[in-house]
Amino acid sequence: MTWPCVSSQFLAALFPPHCRRLLHRHACCPIPDVDPSPINPFPPQPLSPLLPLPLPPKPGRTSAAMVLTLRSSTPFLAAGKPHKPSDEFPASSVSLPAPLRASPARILPKLSAAPHCHAAAATERVHAGGSAAAGAGGRVPVYVMLPLDAVGACGEVRRARALNAGMAALRSAGAEGVMVDAWWGTAERAGPGRYDWEGYGELVRMAERNGLKMQVVMSFHRCGGNVGDSCEIPLPPWVLEETNRDPDIVYTDRSSRRNPEYISLGCDMLPVLCGRTPIQAYSDFMQSFRDRFQDYLGNVIVEIQVGMGPCGELRYPSYPESNGTWRFPGIGEFQCYDKYMMSSLRAAAVAVGHEEWGRSGPHDAGHYNQFPEETGFFRQEGTWNTEYGNFFLAWYSGELLLHGDRILAAAQSIFRHTRAKISAKVAGIHWHYKTRSHAAELTAGYFNTRHRDGYVPIARMLANRGAVMNFTCMEMRDEQQPESASCSPELLVRQVKAAAGAVAVELAGENALERYDEAAYAQVVATGRDNAGIGLSAFTYLRMNKRLFEDEKWRHFVAFVKRMEEGGRRALSLERETLKLHYINADVHASDHQGTEPNFDQQPSMIARTTLFSSS
């Protein structure tokens, strides 16, 4: 009997070792050739909501630490309070201990028992607490994202004079460094295996001259069509030719709409890109980058953030904004309908003895812009809380975990001896967080519900690969969100910090939206504090542009950097910086009247403001 391809991690959750060997012997495709360290090397253990769960032994430390940046914008709340709304909990005298640690079995739950069997209120998961992790301790270095098109479509540095002025200003403010996207569609645009790093080399040298470090993103996704995308950078032309020949190599929704943002993980190990697999193409790209910048890795280039999905995040493109397909706060849609993912789903269904479960995705999951209670799948006691729902969500999220593990295994091998960290990004999907199903997270591939912590498996996978976890909505507050959307970015960040602490993985952060106000900065400072050993190792600010250097906005930013530098304490020299900026402004205006070009070294912030996006 020949079976379609099914992930080894999925089979590991279903069968004992001797059965798995027999299954793989008859599989039609080989087990991926990656680092043998498994995602879930520990035997499943019974779960109890009332007792602390054992923590697996720490994975061996590697010479190249890996980093995952989670985008989030919520303050760190006091420990001990559940992140779920209180009105959904019945009266109970049972208290939850701290730390609360998730079992390794939760990476892929047992499918023999339906989750609704555990849906009694007394056993509901409360994503709170968590053990101490290797947090930032005190200072949190601040990086700033460069414009998305800092390197243009033809590989040239755009607005080089303004970028240099901006870097000088950031250095004067105390920023640690900058982040830049190394676009697949730019660097490998000429053809498979033909790389152009000249523009990126110029940026690296510019950062070095200004005394700044660099975070470089391996951006294997398309730019354009999402929040904050100010330009269009498609996938490489030769990749687009392959998508025209075989449309199933990109993600597809239930209505057969194709999403060209990123290659579907369903064909990770298939030679669909001019004879190479996507994993091979990503590996070759990273290896070429390493070879070109070997002398800068570890001293100027201190972090490699590995893109693993749309917007560079480890997720499915479940909420695409292009062409108005999705609008906030819609639940999104599952993205598993290309032929490669459907083949994997059929194999998984056969493996659990329910062949009928593999014929399609959920029929009652609704549409992009619906609310959970408008669907059969996501409503309070919907299909998600059944044996079938548990099966589908375990498969869907498990495939995403395996995809991330494959790419990070390659990155770990390539950058192992460079002294540069490796990081990955997790999306801060905070809408419908207060509902039982967490619908928007489920469609994105995060199996996080009222009964299950979906971020511990992600954090553990990253820890096993030595990666830092980068999360993204650090500036957001619950009170700023529409009540109807059941948002809670603050509770989401709290849960993610607890997950990072439970497995001792490094946590870094970003803001999800452009913010320049004191309230947003204060929220980031509060979130970044090393509460109970769970702090941020770094924060990357979105993003450098002309508005950042305006007088009041710049003062807020300088004060923010100082507070992060001091571990959240208020900057003592804010008044001095404000006075300094006043004199800089006066000098620049005076030089403008005299018709002379201002001195970049003496007036970095104002030069950046007056030149950014105004020269080529």
Calpha distance 295→583 (Å, rounded): 39
Provide mean pLDDT across the span 547-570: 90
At residue 312, does pLDDT exceed 70?
Answer: yes
**pLDDT grade for 612, boundaries at 50, 70 and 90:** low
CA distances 569 to 3, 138, 556, Å, are 59, 10, 15
Does the annotation flag 327 for ligand binding?
no
Sequence letter at residue 410: A
Calpha distance 119→122 (Å, rounded): 8
**pLDDT grade for 14, boundaries at 50, 70 and 90:** very low
The pair of structure tokens assigned to 518 is 């004191």
Does the annotation flag 511 for ligand binding?
yes
Single pTM value for the model: 0.77
pLDDT digits (tens, 9 = 90+) for 99-125: 333 333 333 333 333 333 333 333 354
Q: Is the CB of residue 372 less than 8 Å from the CB of residue 435?
A: yes
Calpha distance 235→272 (Å, rounded): 15
pLDDT digits (tens, 9 = 90+) for 448-478: 999 999 999 999 999 999 999 999 999 999 9
**Residues identified as active-site:** 313, 510
Calpha distance 256→538 (Å, rounded): 40
What count of residues does the chain have?
616
**Which residue's structure tokens are 């992930």?**
7
Does the annotation flag 512 for ligand binding?
yes
Q: What is the pLDDT of residue 300?
A: 99
The residues spanned by each domain of the chain are 142-324+403-573
Q: CB-side exposure of 343: number of CA atoms within 13 Å?
A: 19
At residue 27, does pLDDT exceed 60?
Answer: no
pLDDT digits (tens, 9 = 90+) for 254-300: 999 999 999 999 999 999 999 999 999 999 999 999 999 999 999 99
Q: What is the pLDDT of residue 324?
A: 87
Does the annotation flag 411 for ligand binding?
no
At residue 333, does pLDDT exceed 80?
Answer: yes
- Fold of the domain spanning 142-324+403-573: TIM Barrel (3.20.20)
- For residue 436, whether the previous peptide bond is cis, meaning omega lies within 30 degrees of 0, is no
535 or 547, which is more confident? 547
**Which residue's structure tokens are 């601040």?**
142
pLDDT digits (tens, 9 = 90+) for 193-238: 999 999 999 999 999 999 999 999 999 999 986 766 668 999 999 9
Does the annotation flag 611 for ligand binding?
no
Provide mean pLDDT across the span 72-84: 35
**pLDDT grade for 15, boundaries at 50, 70 and 90:** very low
Calpha distance 49→97 (Å, rounded): 9
Does the annotation flag 127 for ligand binding?
no
